[in-house]
Structure 1
Amino acid sequence: MPAQTISNSIAIVHPIELDHGRNAEVWDVDGKRYIDFVGGIGVLNLGHCNPAVVAAIQAQAARLTHSAFNAVPHTPYLQLMERLVAFIGLSYPASGMLTNSGAEAAENALKIARGVTRRTAVVAFDGGFHGRTLATLNLNGKVAPYKQGIGLLPGPVYHLPYPSPDNDVSVDQALKAMERLFSVEIDVNEVACFILEPIQGEGGFLALEPAFARHLRQFCDERGILLIVDEIQSGFGRTGQRFGFGRLGIEPDLLLLGKSIAGGVPLGAVVGRRQLMDTLQRGALGGTYSGNPIACAAALASLEQMSDSNLATWGERQEKAIVERYQRWKASGLSAYLGRLTGTGAMRGIELVNADGSPAPQALATLLQTTREAGLLIMPSGKYRHIVRLLAPLTIEPEVFEEGLDILERCLAGLSA
C-alpha cells in the first residue's frame, strides 16, 4: 500500500490490497482469494460487481455521467425517488432527497428537524453511529476514535442508554434515563428530534426493544418531536425485511438511507413526511453530486432485485445458517471466548468475552488476523471492538457461506486464553 500518500489517521482493518471481486469473493493483487464477510461495511448486500448493477452503470455512463439535479434535473433521479418512496412503503405521503452518503443524509435530516420544530437539541443513543462528519460525530454514542482530539462539537446533543436484549439494558432503564434527562438536563420543549438505529451497526448489532420504540413514537407525537430512524446499515434487506423499522411496529418521520442503496456506488437519501420535507425554503436542500445519474441507475438496478421474496429467502437462509452454527459452537464449548449472538435476521454479531464476561478485544484482534490468513475477511464492532460483525452479501452462494463459517469455526477454536 502507498503508505506515504495515505493519511495515517485512516485505520486499516485488513492490510491487504484488493484487485477484483465477484459476489462474496475477492482477490488481492497477489491472487489470493478471500471470502468477504465485510461487504464494504454493509454496502454490498447484492455482492461485488452484481451483473445487473454493473450493466446499469455501463449503460448510464454512455448516456449521461452527471447533471447537478438542483441546476438541471435528470431522469434517473426522478425515476429513483418515485421507485424508492414506493419501495419504502410508508403509510403517509412521502418525499425525499438524494445525498452522497449516509452521513450527508443525517446532516440534512438535522437541518429539516431544526427548520420544522424551530428547536435545536437532539437526543441520540449510546453505541449509535451516524457518520464521520462534524455534526454526525456529535450524534455518535462513542468517543474513541471518532471524537478524540476534535474539540467542541455542534450541539446540543444528549445521549440515552439503548435498550436491547443484546446489551442487558432494559426498556425500564432507558425510560428512567429519559425521565431523568428531561428532569435534570434539558427542557423537553427544546428537543427537535430523536435519532436511532433499529439495529445498531457500529454498536455491535444490537436490536432495539420494540416496546421502547413504540413508547418513543408516542412520546414524540405528543410533544411535536421528530423521530429520525437511521437505516443506513440495517436497510435494504439486511434484517430479512426491506427495513428494520417494520419489526418495531413504528414508522419514522424521517428515514436515513445509504450503504446498500446503490450496489457499491456512493449514494444516500432522506425520505420522510412530505410536509416536513417541504418545510425549508427553496434552495436549502441539494448538492452538486447528490443523486448523480450513474449512482441513481445503480440504485434502480439494485431495487429491481430486492423483491420481498428475494429478501426473505436470502435473509432467512443466512440467518438459519448463522444461528445453527452458533448454537452448535456454544453447545460444544468451541471457544472459551464465545459470548452472545447479537442482532436479528442476517444482521448478526458474535460477541467475544473473557472468562469473567468482560469484553475481549484482544481475542478479536487475533481472530481478525487468523481468519484473514485463512482466507476470510471479518469486521469488528461494539464499544470495545469485541463483537464480530457478519455482513456477507445476501446473495452469497450457500456453499461459499458455509466455507466462510468453516474458517471462522476453525479460527475460533484456535483462540488460546
Structure 2
Amino acid sequence: MTIETTQPHGVRIEQRRVLRTEVPGPRSRELHARKTAAVASGVGTTLPAYIARAAGGIAVDVDGNQLIDFGSGIAVTSVGNSAPRVVEAVQAQVEDFTHTCFMITPYEQYVAVAERLNELTPGDHAKRSALFNSGAEAVENAVKIARHYTGRTAIVAFDHAYHGRTNLTMALTAKNMPYKHKFGPFAGEIHRAPMAYPYRWPTGRATCADEAFEAFTTTVRVQVGAENVAAVIVEPIQGEGGFVVPAPGFLRKVAEWCAAEGILLIADEIQTGFCRTGDWFASTHEGIVPDLITTAKGLAGGLPLAAVTGRAEVMDAVHTGGLGGTYGGNPIACAAALAAIDTMQADDLCAAARRIESIMRPRLDALAAKYDQVGDVRGRGAMLAIEFAEPSSALASAVAAACHRAGLIVLTAGTFGNVLRFLPPLVIGEDLLSEGLDVLEAAMGEVL
C-alpha cells in the first residue's frame, strides 16, 4: 500500500507529528474568535485547530502544527485527505460541468456510481441505487421506500442508535443531548427496541444475544404489531452510540425474523461502510444481506454523497418522481466516489483496515489491562473504541483533551459520552499509527 505524503499540487506533507505552537495555536484562536462571531453557536467544534492542508494521516493547521488524524472527519476520509485519484477526478469534472440536476438532464457519473454500489453491497440479487447528499437524507429515503413498498408505516430502531439530525432521523436516534434536545415533536410511528450491547447487558455477555432478541421480538409484537412494521433499521456496528458491536448472532436472528414477518431490514452502513471494518460492509461480518442499505461518509473521499441501495423490486416500487433532490448525486461528488472506490480496490483498503486493527487492538487491550477505569475494548478493523466503566463523559473528555493538546485528533462517543473512538484513515502509515498510540498512552497516563 502506498502512503500518500504529497498533495497533487506538489506540497509535501511529511507523515509525522509536529508541534510548532500549543494546540490550538494563535492563528487558530483568531479564527475561532471569528467563528464565534459569525457562526451559530449550535454548531460545535471538537478541536478548534483550523486546518490548512491535509494528506494521508496528517492534518496541518494554520499554525503549522501537524496533527495525527485518528478521526478521518468521522470516518469520511478513509482514502486519506486530498487522495491523488480523488483530486484528479474532481478537477477534471469541475472543468467539464458542476451541475445539471440528474432529474433534469442526467449524466453518466451518477449511473456509474449506482452500478458500483449495486456490485459492491452485500447480496447477489438484482439491485437499484438512488443518490443523495447526506447520511440522514439516505436514511429518510430508505424509510420512505420501505413504507411505500410494504404499505406499512411503523419503523423499529434500537437503543443507542444514531441515524441523523433531521426530524425523522432524530426520531430514530436514541440519544437526547445534543441531538434531540428541545427539537420535538418528532416524526411518528417510530418505535425502539433493546440493542444487544454485550458490555452493558444486565445478565452478561453469554446471554446477551438470545435475551436481546427475545426482548426485541416481544417489543415489536406487543407494542407495535409485526404486521404494522415496514422496516427494522440497525447499524451493524453502532457509531455515535459507542461503537457497540452486537452480540454474535443477534443480527442474524433479527434478519431471519424480519424475513419471516415480511419486514424489510435496513442496514445503516453510513459509518461502517467502504472497507472501514475490514470488509466492504460490516453486514458481511454478521452474515446478513439487508433489503436496503444506506451509505455515505467514506463513499466519496470527503465530498457530500450518500446512497440507498436495495433489492430491485423494493427500490422500483416507488413511483417515478418520488425520489430525488436538486443536488443528489452531484457530478463532482460522483467523480470523487468513483475515484475513491478505485483507490479502495487498488490499494486493498479492506486489508489495510485489518492491518490497522492488528496494530491497534493489542495496544488498546494493554491499556485496558493497565487501567481499571477502562471497561471494554471493542470494534472491527479501523473502527475501534475503548469504553470507560463509569457511565459519565468526564474521563473520555479529559483523555481526548490531553490527546488534542499533544497533537492527536481523537473523538468521543457513546450514549453516556464515555467512549473514545478511533477512525484513522485507512492509508495511515504504521509508524504514524504507532506514534498516535504512544500519544494516547501518554494521555491516559496523564489523566488516569
The answer to whether the 8 Å contact 1:19/1:27 transfers is yes
Q: State the SS of the aligned residue for 1:85.
A: helix
Counterpart residue number, 1:76: 109
Counterpart residue number, 2:28: none
Counterpart residue number, 1:295: 333
The answer to whether the 8 Å contact 1:35/1:400 transfers is yes
Match of 1:392 among 393, 416, 424: 424
Mapping of 1:274-353 within 5 angstroms?
A: 274-307=312-345, 310-331=348-369, 333=370, 335-353=371-389
What is the CA–CA distance in structure 1 between the aligned matches of 2:405 and 2:417, rounded to whole Å? Answer: 20
Counterpart residue number, 2:87: 54
Instruction: For structure 2, list consecutive stretches of 5 or more residues without a partner in the other structure.
Output: 1-31, 203-207
Mapping of 1:202-221 within 5 angstroms?
A: 202-221=240-259
Counterpart amino acid of 1:406? D
Query: 1:327-359: CA deviations, max 9, x gaps?
Result: 33234x2x3422211212221101123xxxx22
Question: Relative to structure 2, which stretch is displaced further, 285-294 or 173-182?
Answer: 173-182
Match of 1:17 among 40, 47, 50: 50
Query: 1:187-231: CA deviations, max 9, x gaps?
Result: 211111000000011011111234221211121111211100000
Counterpart amino acid of 1:137? M
Counterpart amino acid of 1:5? A
1:87/1:29 CA distance change after superposition, 3 Å: same
The answer to whether the 8 Å contact 1:120/1:155 transfers is no
Counterpart residue number, 2:415: 383
Question: Relative to structure 2, which stretch is displaced further, 88-97 or 377-386?
Answer: 88-97
Match of 1:90 among 118, 123, 136: 123
The answer to whether the 8 Å contact 1:204/1:342 transfers is no
Query: 1:334-389: CA deviations, max 9, x gaps?
Result: x3422211212221101123xxxx22411111112111110101000001111111
Counterpart amino acid of 1:303? I
Counterpart residue number, 1:135: 168
Counterpart residue number, 1:405: 437
Counterpart amino acid of 1:295? A
The answer to whether the 8 Å contact 1:166/1:343 transfers is no
The answer to whether the 8 Å contact 2:122/2:284 transfers is no
Q: State the SS of the aligned residue for 1:241.
A: coil
What is the CA–CA distance in structure 2 between the aligned matches of 1:329 and 1:210, rounded to whole Å? Answer: 24
Counterpart residue number, 2:215: 177
The answer to whether the 8 Å contact 1:241/1:308 transfers is no
Question: Relative to structure 2, which stretch is displaced further, 201-210 or 59-68?
Answer: 201-210
Counterpart amino acid of 1:62? E
The answer to whether the 8 Å contact 1:167/1:206 transfers is no
4+ residue runs over 6 A deviation? none
Counterpart residue number, 1:124: 157
1:330/1:216 CA distance change after superposition, 3 Å: closer
> Is 2:193 the counterpart of 1:160?
yes
What is the CA–CA distance in structure 1 between the aligned matches of 2:85 and 2:130, rounded to whole Å? Answer: 24
Query: 1:42-71: CA deviations, max 9, x gaps?
Result: 101111111111111111111121120011
What is the CA–CA distance in structure 2 between the aligned matches of 1:47 and 1:385, rounded to whole Å? Answer: 27
Question: Relative to structure 2, which stretch is displaced further, 115-124 or 183-192?
Answer: 183-192
What is the CA–CA distance in structure 2 between the aligned matches of 1:113 and 1:227, rounded to whole Å? Answer: 9
Mapping of 1:220-259 within 5 angstroms?
A: 220-259=258-297
Counterpart amino acid of 1:145? P
What is the CA–CA distance in structure 2 between the aligned matches of 1:330 and 1:194, rounded to whole Å? Answer: 34
Mapping of 1:252-267 within 5 angstroms?
A: 252-267=290-305
Q: Scaled by the length of structure 2, what TM-score is found?
A: 0.89
Q: State the SS of the aligned residue for 1:206.
A: coil
> Is 2:236 the counterpart of 1:198?
yes
Counterpart amino acid of 2:59? V
Q: Scaled by the length of structure 1, what TM-score is found?
A: 0.95
Shift of 1:13: 1.2
The answer to whether the 8 Å contact 2:71/2:424 transfers is yes
Counterpart amino acid of 2:418? H
What is the CA–CA distance in structure 2 between the aligned matches of 1:106 and 1:206, rounded to whole Å? Answer: 19
Shift of 1:409: 0.5
The answer to whether the 8 Å contact 1:128/1:196 transfers is yes
- Root-mean-square deviation (CA, aligned residues, Å) is 1.5
> Is 2:181 the counterpart of 1:148?
yes
Question: Relative to structure 2, which stretch is displaced further, 202-211 or 62-71?
Answer: 202-211
Counterpart residue number, 1:371: 403
1:82/1:179 CA distance change after superposition, 3 Å: closer
What is the CA–CA distance in structure 1 between the aligned matches of 2:102 and 2:299, rounded to whole Å? Answer: 18
Query: 1:104-145: CA deviations, max 9, x gaps?
Result: 100001110110111111100011111111100000121222
1:151/1:164 CA distance change after superposition, 3 Å: closer
What is the CA–CA distance in structure 2 between the aligned matches of 1:367 and 1:329, rounded to whole Å? Answer: 13
The answer to whether the 8 Å contact 2:98/2:332 transfers is yes
Instruction: For structure 1, list consecutive stretches of 5 or more residues without a partner in the other structure.
Output: none
The answer to whether the 8 Å contact 1:164/1:209 transfers is yes
Counterpart amino acid of 1:84? L
Q: State the SS of the aligned residue for 1:229.
A: strand
The answer to whether the 8 Å contact 2:117/2:129 transfers is no
Shift of 1:308: 8.5
What is the CA–CA distance in structure 2 between the aligned matches of 1:293 and 1:21, rounded to whole Å? Answer: 23
Counterpart amino acid of 2:103? N
Counterpart residue number, 1:35: 68
The answer to whether the 8 Å contact 1:166/1:342 transfers is no
Shift of 1:309: 7.1
The answer to whether the 8 Å contact 1:258/1:267 transfers is yes
Counterpart residue number, 2:9: none
